Amino acid sequence: MTHMTDTAPAPGAASRRTAHTPDPRAARAARRRRTLHWIAVHALGIAAAAFFVLPFVFVVLTALMTDNQALTRSLWPHPFAWSNFRTVWDTPGFLTWWRNTLVYSVAGTVLTVVSSLPVAYALARFRFRGRNLVMVLVISTMMLPPQVVIIPMYLFWTKQLHMDGTLWPLIIPMAFGDAFTIFLLRQFLLTIPKEYTEAAKVDGCGELRTLLTVIVPMIRPAIAAVALFQFFACWNDYFGPQIYASSNPAAWTLSYGLESFKGAHHTNWNLTMAATVLVMAPVIVVFFFAQKAFIEGVTLTGVKG
């Protein structure tokens, strides 16, 4: 008589073993989905990058063409006319526009940061009656377009102070702070724990020394971010120089002088594009070297431990 052994699997054991065994087809499908997702994301990234880069590439290639070739459908310069940049640089007045723009941008940036930082520190750290009202007034000035007050400001600087034909009406007001810079620096200062400033005061530091020795090193990314914002705004400013400096070519900036250059060389698209590249180059170089601090300052939301 044959006896049945007790080696038969328990009910449900096969199903449990099957459940824990990975299905090769499902694994391949998952890898395929991840691969397709990676390709789709990078394809969209490359397309977006090309959308922003191609106009700049077109400007650079046109700047390297000869006079005759710039008026054709050719997209690739042959030969490369590197002398176009030298021609633009030697144009009368171009070096003056460059110097004026550099002075305007650097002076405006330094004055804005230096004047806005103490105000932001006071609004973030000091407790006084009407502080919230002051902050509301600062923010409200950001909603006021400059065109609204340009007429009384122009009359004040030109008729009362006789500063027309100069960049001083644009530089001097920056020594009294900027609403956007104050707001942004205040938001960064609010993320710094009060224990740091309290510990500095216990050690005998006054408010100014606390600001310079404790707070400023901690918010350097924020200062770099607002400084870059201000530098780019001054470098690209066209409206201000047009209002105050248009009567004096010796006070023109690159943004305003480029309009005059384009009018004088309206048929020489290669020279116009070369001048455009020379105007954009400093901004691109500054951002390339300062992008780490810029991005860190924009995304900073707390203090790193």
CATH of the domain at 162: 1.10.3720.10
11 found inside a domain: no
Do 136 and 218 lie in one domain? The reply is yes
Peptide bond into 145 cis (omega under 30): no
In terms of C-beta density within 10 A (0-12 exposed, 13-18 middle, 19 or more buried), how is residue 35 classed?
A: exposed
109 and 56 together in one domain: no
Same domain, 126 and 219: yes
**Residue 73 sits in the same domain as residue 102:** no
**15 in any annotated domain:** no
166 and 35 in a common domain: no
Question: What angle is formed at CA 56 by the lines to CA 222 and CA 223, rounded to 5 degrees?
Answer: 10
Element spanning 69, H or E:
none
Residue 224 vs residues 19, 179, 295: alpha-carbon distances, Å:
56, 17, 10
Residues 157, 216, single domain; the answer is yes
Report yes or no on 13 lying in a domain: no
Q: How far apart are CA 245 and CA 243, in angstroms?
A: 6
Total domain count for the chain? 2
Does 244 lie in the same domain as 223?
A: yes
Are 274 and 91 in contact by the 8 Å Cβ rule? The answer is: no
Q: Are residues 63 and 115 in the same domain?
A: no
**Range(s) of the domain holding residue 35:** 31-82
Assigned domain for 161 exists: yes
> What pLDDT is stored for residue 12 in this prediction?
53
Considering the domain architecture, whether residues 75 and 163 belong to the same structural domain is answered as no
Q: Are residues 199 and 231 in the same domain?
A: yes
Q: Tell whether 23 is covered by a domain.
A: no
User: Is position 3 within any domain?
Assistant: no
Tens digits of pLDDT across the chain (305 residues)? 444 445 555 555 544 545 456 677 888 888 888 898 899 989 998 999 888 888 888 889 888 888 788 777 778 888 888 888 998 888 888 899 999 999 999 999 999 999 999 999 988 888 888 888 888 888 888 888 888 888 999 999 988 998 989 999 999 999 998 898 998 898 888 888 888 888 888 888 888 888 888 888 888 888 888 998 899 999 999 999 999 998 888 999 998 888 888 877 777 788 888 888 988 888 888 888 777 766 766 665 444 43
User: Given this model, what pLDDT does residue 11 score?
Assistant: 53
Cα angle 241, 244, 250 (rounded to 5 degrees) comes to: 70
pTM over 0.85: no
* Residue 166: predicted pLDDT: 92
Shared domain for 121 and 265, answered yes or no, is yes
Q: Are 70 and 99 found together in one domain?
A: no
Is the residue at 8 inside a domain? no
